Structure 1
Amino acid sequence: MSAPRSIVFLGLSLSSSWGNGHATTFRALIRGLASLGHAVTFLERDVPWYRDNRDLPDPDFCRLVLYPDLAALDSHRETIATADAVIVGSYVPDGPDVIARVRDWARGPLAFYDIDTPVTLARIAAGERISIAPAQIPDLDLYLSFTGGPMLDRLERDFGARAARALYCSVEADRYQPTGEPFEWDLGYLGTYSPDRQPTLERLLIEPARRLPEKSFVVAGPQYPAEIDWPDNVARIEHLPPAQHPSFYCRQRFTLNVTRADMIAAGWSPSVRLFEAGACGTAIVGDEWPGLGELLPDGEAMLVARDADDVVAILAELPAMRRDAIAARARGRILADHTGEARAAQLLDHLDAARAHGASSGRKKVVGERARHASSFG
């Protein structure tokens, strides 16, 4: 094991999983870092919508600091400056201003962790202000992307990223595992409402529910419009805290994974729900996108559905023995390659490489400080 390191994250949220997938991603990764002996500080903007829905207000695996506004970051300058590495996440409020401050303070590698890479690049192309300014990308030591594949080449070629590396989401294996509960639903889905995911949810869950009134379905997640016409055999759960996710998955014969349109187009963008469900031993039905077969091959570790007919056939005809074998193979792959500890080890390797290639040498230096900084990232 390498020497203990101090790492600072500035992310959208760690304390609240309400309406976002960032919190569970950070929790798995940071728990993995903690289990490997590293110290993490997480700086989170204190905003009302998360303040009222915190399901992890006092984590035992890192130091969580809530700050009220951009100016308040100044009081954490020393923590940032003395860290072995600093990682700013996507969708952080005032992201470009946060990055500008941190860039001037950080002495170790500075990384941007884009949990929404295809969305980020689409919004840059549309000229929108987002959580990173395009001109800041070449100034980072490392661009960590939720999306792998050709997107990494694009980040380096078209946006000047020094080192673009995939850092997929991961799962906490000790929290997401089979519970042995009896089945309650034939097919379920967990996810916050998104306009670009809704047509797929309509096609792959709501329409099959209409065709199979004898089957039971469930959709959990907030922000769904009141005008959605849910069939009578589709149960609704407004919000499901992460602690209840394993039980939710294990009570489904199959769970549905739905991918956002930008991420389908980009490919190589597995969601945290994919890994969580698989780790629980639940058979996954999902939409198709490039790179999926490298993670969970169709027919072997999951089942790709292209339309309602596919889902109806799976629910009505697939033998239970084959369903369970597919679920077991997915669980084996995920526990081998996609746990929080595995992802933390990958992150440390990326940071080591950034350090070895002269991290921070191209950034604006705080006079005299970098020369006196003697810590090593290895």
Structure 2
Amino acid sequence: MMRAPLRLVVLGLSLSSSWGNGHATTYRALLRAFAERGHAILFLERETPWYAEHRDLTEPDFCDLAFYRDLADLERFRERIASADAVIVGSYVPEGVAVGRRVRAWNRRVCAFYDIDTPVTLAKLEARDHAYLAPDLIEAYDLYLSFTGGPTLRRIEERYGSPAARRLYCSVDPDAYPALPRTARWDLSYLGTHSPDRQSTLTRLLLEPARRAPHLRFAVAGPQYPREIDWPRNVDRIEHVAPADHPAFYAASRYTLNITRADMIRAGYSPSVRLFEAAACGTPILTDRWEGLQTVLVPGREILPVDTAEDVLDLLEGQPEAARLRLAAAARARVLASHSAAQRAAELEAHLREAIDRRGNISARSMLGKTSASEVLRE
């Protein structure tokens, strides 16, 4: 039996600006595909100067986008939040704990937390840092959607009391990330915002190979890199590549590099959205190692793990072109089959409907437990 479309409200870090964050492209791919399934979406974004200055999506055609100034201003959207079939609050939302508590108080249907930074979030909780999530809220949310799969899901349920922790990896929109005609400009590229815990890996797997092989070309794209970094002369520095230009960036790369944050390596099962985007664009990927990688892309056949500068240079200079193309084709086929936005949106709908049904069953059992009609009417 066909079920009615859902009315969904999402409060996330940003949809309007991809500058310096991976949330925007994740939300765009997922929510566009979710809307294509017939659902109605309102995305609420906190007005912040940083993202306001760097907006690259102001009028999405797949959802309503609105901005609120602060907690008091969020009151304007109380009715929409209260009447939604489901509300999702994302990680790194400013004053996320207060936002989550208001959402839970206003909406008595299904409230979910979407953690695009699960290992970082759990590390913060261990340090009693409740910037955007607190332990009591994990219990209050009907659903915990996690960017990290594997054993972490059990930890969220058993240690923090989540009623349901479910994996929801990032994904890629194949229409937005096509495989373009290729003219190689760089032998190896990296696309990502600077992060101190990734810098040593970037140095080992890209900057050091660049120093040893001045005849090869490299690129590092992304904001917030410190001025004091000593960039080799054969490394092109690009401050920002807008999402619309990602396919062209990958098409200009013979290989691209995936680097995982330290917290996500420790947790495992935390694939980056850049990994799926590069694969969809048909660019072979070199990656650092983390547990669960083989469940996403098969090492040696769909992705190439590397540990040292020597590993990188051996591949850049020694891998036959036919093998490089086979690797790219295999990764692209796997990602389009298993990690497209359409598939992820179907997973999201299934998780939300499961939570809606579970909450309905709990309410029904509660009603059956009442001793009189007057008790039911007082609810």
Q: TM-score, normalising length from structure 2?
A: 0.94
Name the CA distance, whole Å, in 1 between partners of 2:361 and 2:263: 32
Aligned residue type for 1:181? R
Alpha carbons of 1:165 and 1:212: their partners in 2 closer, same or farther (altered >3 Å)? Answer: same
What SS does structure 2 have at the residue aligned with 1:9?
A: strand
Indicate the residue corresponding to 1:219 in structure 2: 220
Name 2:204's counterpart in structure 1. Answer: 203
> What does residue 85 of structure 2 align with?
84
Matches within 5 A, 1:1-378: 2-358=3-359
In 2: Cα distance, 1:246 partner to 1:191 partner:
14
Deviation at 1:107, TM superposition (A): 2.9
Structure 1 residue 360, shift from structure 2 partner? 10
Deviation per residue, 1:255-290 (Å, 9 max, x gap): 000000000000000000000000000000000100
Distance 2:6 2:355 in 1: 15
SS of the residue corresponding to residue 220 of structure 2 reads strand
Partner letter of residue 89 of structure 2?
A: V
Deviations 1:4-48 (A, max 9, x none): 211100000000000000000000000011111111100000100
Q: How many residues align?
A: 364
Tell me if structure 2 keeps the 8 A contact 1:301–1:330: yes
1: CA distance, partners of 2:356 / 2:41: 18
> SS of 1:13's equivalent?
coil
Shift of 1:339: 1.1
The alpha carbon displacement at 1:108 in A equals 2.2
Aligned equivalents of 2:362 and 2:71: distance in 1? 26
Question: Could you tell me the percent identity over the aligned residues?
Answer: 58
Is the Cα–Cα contact under 8 Å of residues 147 and 166 in structure 1 kept in the other structure?
A: yes
Helix, strand or coil: the match of 1:161? Answer: coil
Partner residue in 2 for 1:368: none
Instruction: State which drifts further: 213-222 or 119-128.
Output: 119-128
Letter in structure 2 aligned against 1:226:
R
Please provide the CA RMSD for this pair.
Answer: 1.4
SS at the partner of 1:37?
A: coil
Deviation at 1:361, TM superposition (A): 5.7
| Alpha-carbon distance in 2 for matches of 1:309, 1:211 | 9
SS at the partner of 2:72? helix
Specify every segment of 5 or more residues in structure 2 that has no aligned partner in the other structure, as ranges.
364-375
Structure 1 residue 2 displacement after superposition: 4.1
Q: Which consecutive segments of 4 or more residues in structure 1 shift more than 6 A?
A: none
Deviations 1:196-236 (A, max 9, x none): 01010001100011111100000000000000000000000
Q: Which amino acid aligns with 1:201?
A: L
SS at match of 1:177: coil
Letter matched to residue 46 of structure 1: E
| 1:321 maps to amino acid | A
2:13 and 2:138 map into 1 onto residues whose CA distance is: 19
Aligned 8 A contact 1:109 1:359 in 2:
no
Corresponding residue for 1:376? none
Q: CA deviation at 1:181?
A: 2.9
Separation of aligned partners in 2, 1:60 and 1:353? 28
Give the structure-1-normalised TM-score.
0.94
